[in-house]
Amino acid sequence: MQRNQSVRNIDYKIAPDIPYRMLNHWDNLDGSIERGYAGNSFFFQENEIIVNERTRMYARLLASVGINATVINNVNVKDCATGLISDMYYDKLRAMACIFKEYGIQLFLSLNFAAPMVLGGLHSADPLDEEVRTWWKEKMMEVYQNIPNLGGFLIKADSEGRPGPFTYGRTHADGANMLAEAVAPYEGLIIWRCFVYNCQQDWRDKVTDRARSGYDNFKPLDGKFLDNVILQIKNGPMDFQVREPITPLFGALHNTNQMLEVQIAQEYTGQQKHVCYLIPMFEQILQFHTYLQDQKDTIREIISGQALNQKNCGIAAVANTGNESNWTGHDLAAANLYGFGRLAYQKDCTAEDIAREWVEVTFGSNREMITTITDILMRSWPIYEQYTAPLGIGWMVNPNHHYGPNVDGYEYDRWGTYHRADHLGIGVDRSEMGTGYAMTYQEPLASTYNSVEACPDELLLFFHHVSYTHILKSGKSVIQHIYDTHFDGVENVENMMKALDKIKEYLPLAVYNRMVPRLEEQLRLAKEWRDQINTYFYRKSGIIDTKNRTIY
Ligand code: GCV
């Protein structure tokens, strides 16, 4: 009705194919949000849980787009957050879980693997230690007596300083299964993240490859997890960059429940100041053939359980909400929340259909306005890619907050995120002659990525180190591609602003007034990216732009 369409003759039935469609909030108990760009938390404030009218509005918002599960606290479980599984918080959590249940949503929590030490005063968190195992069993009995509707737990272990089973020489299967046994009597789930890598790498070390870490850590554990464990796997092998290959882990696990993790919080894609509609990216990910088996091998078929006949599977998005009145800061960022839910719920929805549908239900029925905003959304991810890091290399951002260009920001650091540019060329050799990462894919993907000639342009620098004069499939040299895309990117942002201006009368004034300063900021930063990237590579390579534009 909101789309101005007739409700006569509507007679259809749809059922979601993906069992768990989840949000992951990285909200801290002090009210801050890790990678939050829309204000503070509406779940927590000053170490207290908030249950109020917005809790219900939130549940309704999620239900309206088909999301059925949510994790409310940050995977980095520190300080008071470890105590969410204690008397202090049970009443509020139970109240929240009850509200969520009315909307068909299950509450989950992130857990601290070292809770037996922090809360229980034990000397270890060793998953094979009987005392530790008993502690968890008793703790889970207490938790479920108090919060009967709890769906289960999400765990980040042995990652970026978080505790985990490696400390005790145990595997991630040992860790996950210990918790899975403890929650099994209550039909609880353990969602275990595969974002495990060495974040103390020496940049001189060209053998260790962060991209390999998910595969190397988890492939050998295939088949070793209990059935109420789900491995949660980020879409790419690195970390939510504007362009990454799809992780090979999905094509490598035959006997393990899997969940895809994407990020609608725009950590590396403009931090909700830039328009970047991510649903076309997610659509590509879900359609990707892993070659795990002859048929039913796409990511969607894997995480819906159809490929491997599983029921504990799903998709999770790192959430982009906060306590700002419009939920997502940038009004157009709401299309990512809406789109994530719709894409997860309904198999045959395209990113473009979803964009148009969102524009219609949000802003009304003027044709020109609908076409303009749908077009802005659909072009926004490619445009963001144009003015930021080129050809799949990623990063080139400022350390810590990850906003804005800094070509060498992570080059001589410990995080395993390098571009390896010198005066001759750029890119990371992940072929069999380099780190071998390309060979972790099933065929024919391994051969495609392994070969400079066959590798798709947009991922070339992720897989290969090539000279600036290397000719891409597009017919352009790498250096000319860098120059051209960066000039085009800025022009495209300018055009986006002009297009929006033409339809401004069809938008609520408050919405337009919120959007304009953000677009101005997007343009300012796009120019900064353009000039820093172009100048850096001009100075490194000494090769002039064939079109003679201004490079500094
Ligand atoms: C929650 C990246 C982010 C971190 C985040 C981490 C993760 O490294 O920058 O803020 O921590 O991913 O996914 O665990």
Q: Each residue's pLDDT tens digit in the chain (552 positions)?
A: 888 888 898 888 889 999 999 999 999 999 999 999 999 999 999 999 999 999 999 999 999 999 999 999 999 999 999 999 999 999 999 999 999 999 999 999 999 999 999 999 999 999 999 999 999 999 999 999 999 999 999 999 999 999 999 999 999 999 999 999 999 999 999 999 999 999 999 999 999 999 999 999 999 999 999 999 999 999 999 999 999 999 999 999 999 999 999 999 999 999 999 999 999 999 999 999 999 999 999 999 999 999 999 999 999 999 999 999 999 999 999 999 999 999 999 999 999 999 999 999 999 999 999 999 999 999 999 999 999 999 999 999 999 999 999 999 999 999 999 999 999 999 999 999 999 999 999 999 999 999 999 999 999 999 999 999 999 999 999 999 999 999 999 999 999 999 999 999 999 999 999 999 999 999 999 999 999 999 999 999 999 999 999 999
Q: Is the CB of 418 under 6 A from ligand 1?
A: no
Collect all residues with Cβ–Cβ distance below 8 Å to 83 and sequence separation of at least 6.
89, 119
The model's pTM is: 0.98
Determine phi and psi for 258, rounding to 5 degrees: -130, 150
Q: Is the CB of 26 under 6 A from ligand 1?
A: yes
Which of the following is catalytic: 209, 239, 261, 429? 239
Alpha-carbon radius of gyration of the chain? 24
Site to substitute for ligand 1 among 28, 32, 73, 160, most atoms within 8 A of C-beta: 160
Q: How far is CA 190 from CA 94, 300, 465, in A?
A: 19, 21, 40
- Phi-psi domain of 466 (left: phi exceeds 0; alpha: psi -120 through 50; beta: other): beta
Ligand 1 centre and the CA of 27: distance in Å?
12
Determine the atom of ligand 1 nearest the C-alpha atom of 261. 13
The helix or strand, by DSSP H or E, that contains position 493, with its residue range, turns out to be helix 478-502
**Predicted pLDDT at 367:** 95
Number of H helices, E strands in the chain: 15, 12
Q: Is the CB of 239 under 6 A from ligand 1?
A: yes
Q: How far is CA 342 from CA 14, 330, 355, 378, in A?
A: 12, 19, 10, 16
CA atoms within 13 A on the CB side of 349: 24
Q: Is the CB of 410 under 6 A from ligand 1?
A: no
**Predicted pLDDT at 12:** 85
Q: Is the CB of 234 under 6 A from ligand 1?
A: no
- Phi-psi domain of 432 (left: phi exceeds 0; alpha: psi -120 through 50; beta: other): alpha
Ligand 1 centre and the CA of 183: distance in Å?
26
Collect all residues with Cβ–Cβ distance below 8 Å to 157 and sequence separation of at least 6.
113, 163, 164, 165, 172, 175, 192, 193, 196
Collect all residues with Cβ–Cβ distance below 8 Å to 487 and sequence separation of at least 6.
530, 534, 547, 549
Q: From atom 11 of ligand 1, which residue's Cα is the shortest distance away?
A: 76
Q: From atom 13 of ligand 1, which residue's Cα is the shortest distance away?
A: 195
Which pair of tokens denotes residue 150?
Answer: 């709890």
Ligand 1 centre and the CA of 94: distance in Å?
28
**Predicted pLDDT at 108:** 99
Can you tell me the distance from the alpha carbon of 32 to that of 322, in angstroms, rounded to the nearest whole number?
9
Contact 389, 242 (CB under 8 A): yes
**Predicted pLDDT at 5:** 86
- Phi-psi domain of 268 (left: phi exceeds 0; alpha: psi -120 through 50; beta: other): alpha
Determine the atom of ligand 1 nearest the C-alpha atom of 75. 1
3-state SS class at 145 = helix
Can you tell me the distance from the alpha carbon of 492 to that of 410, in angstroms, rounded to the nearest whole number?
28
Can 267 be counted among the known catalytic residues?
yes
Can you tell me the distance from the alpha carbon of 312 to that of 19, in angstroms, rounded to the nearest whole number?
7
Distance between alpha carbon 489 and the CA centroid of its chain, in Å? 23
Can 53 be counted among the known catalytic residues?
no
Contact 49, 95 (CB under 8 A): no
Q: From atom 2 of ligand 1, which residue's Cα is the shortest distance away?
A: 239
Determine phi and psi for 73, rounding to 5 degrees: -120, 155
Site to substitute for ligand 1 among 239, 398, 403, most atoms within 8 A of C-beta: 239
Can you tell me the distance from the alpha carbon of 336 to that of 319, in angstroms, rounded to the nearest whole number?
9
Determine the atom of ligand 1 nearest the C-alpha atom of 318. 13
Which of the following is catalytic: 91, 102, 138, 160? 160
3-state SS class at 70 = strand
Can 520 be counted among the known catalytic residues?
no
DSSP β-ladder status, 44-45 and 106-111: unpaired
**Predicted pLDDT at 220:** 98
Ligand 1 centre and the CA of 446: distance in Å?
28
Q: How far is CA 339 from CA 91, 104, 266, 446, in A?
A: 33, 19, 14, 31
Ligand 1 centre and the CA of 474: distance in Å?
34
Can you tell me the distance from the alpha carbon of 311 to that of 552, in angstroms, rounded to the nearest whole number?
56
Can you tell me the distance from the alpha carbon of 401 to that of 167, in angstroms, rounded to the nearest whole number?
29
